[in-house]
Amino acid sequence: MTLIWIILGVIVVIVLWVVFAFNGFVSLRNRAKEAWADIEVQLKRRYDLIPNLVNTVKGYASHESSAFENVTKARSMAMGAQGPTGEHAQAENMLTGALKSVFAIAEAYPELKANQNFLALQNELSDTENKIQAARRFYNGNVRDLNIKAESFPSNVIAGMFNFTKMEFFDLADNDAAQNPVEVKF
């Protein structure tokens, strides 16, 4: 009789551990998805600011059309990329590089640097870039926690049983353009 209680006790402990491990994975996965949604909100804000910035600079430097076309193409590519993939990170890096060229053009026009609309857009973009970086760090932290749990024994058994897979980090620092922040002060 005692052996039956011991076996039942072990089974209950195992079932409780599976339930808690499963719920832990669900929680980590949902936190990572929420963090990705935060990144998307900031990226959308960035995408919305860019046309206004380009139009403001265009008014002063209309002959720099190739730089504006590059920004527009890079913005379209970044907006079309889905999820935290290497392709999306590469598109964001291209957009960052294109924005740097617009700010470099702006440096040649003192009257543009003094334009209140340009300064406001510049500050908004700088703030947005900071928020993107913070959201990216938060997302990557959640992905790290999920990936560690998915790879660690014994929780990797639960991950395999219930199809919890590792998620991909969203790393924007793959190239030189992304390692240097967008210069937005004059």
Provide the 3-class DSSP secondary structure of residue 147. helix
How far does the chain reach from its first CA to its final CA, in angstroms?
A: 81
User: b/e map of 139-168 (b: 16 or more CB within 10 Å)?
Assistant: bbebbeebbebbeeeebeebbeeeebeebe
Q: Which CATH number fits domain 15-179: 1.10.10.10, 3.90.10.10, 3.30.420.40, 1.20.1440.20?
A: 1.20.1440.20
pLDDT tops 80 at residue 62: no
Rounded CA gap, 32 and 153, in Å? 21
Helices 86-107 and 116-151, packing angle to 10 deg: 160
For 4-8, 71-75, 107-111, 166-170, which range has the lowest pLDDT when averaged over its residues? 107-111
Cβ atoms 53, 121 nearer than 8 A:
yes
Domain ranges of the chain: 15-179
* pTM for this predicted structure: 0.79
Sequence letter at residue 167: M
pLDDT score, position 173: 57
Handedness of CA 163, 80, 126, 99 (dihedral sign): positive
Between 51 and 186, whose confidence is greater? 51
Average pLDDT rounded to a whole number, residues 92-118: 85
pLDDT score, position 178: 44
What backbone phi and psi angles, to 5 degrees, belong to 167? -105, 160
Mean pLDDT of the chain: 87
pLDDT tops 60 at residue 177: no
Classify residue 4 as exposed, middle or buried by CB count within 10 Å of its CB (0-12, 13-18, 19+). Answer: exposed
Percentage above 90 pLDDT, the chain: 56
Give the residue carrying structure tokens 């199809």: 163
What backbone phi and psi angles, to 5 degrees, belong to 108? -80, -5
pLDDT score, position 79: 92
pLDDT score, position 175: 47
Between 60 and 40, whose confidence is greater? 40
- The residues, any chain, with a CB within 8 Å of residue 106's CB and separated by 6 or more, are 57, 60, 61, 112, 113, 118, 186
pLDDT in tens, 71-81: 989 999 999 98
Handedness of CA 87, 89, 95, 98 (dihedral sign): negative
pLDDT tops 70 at residue 101: yes
Closest CA to 96 of 6, 173, 26: 173
pLDDT tops 50 at residue 186: no
pLDDT in tens, 12-28: 999 999 999 999 999 99
Average pLDDT rounded to a whole number, residues 46-61: 88
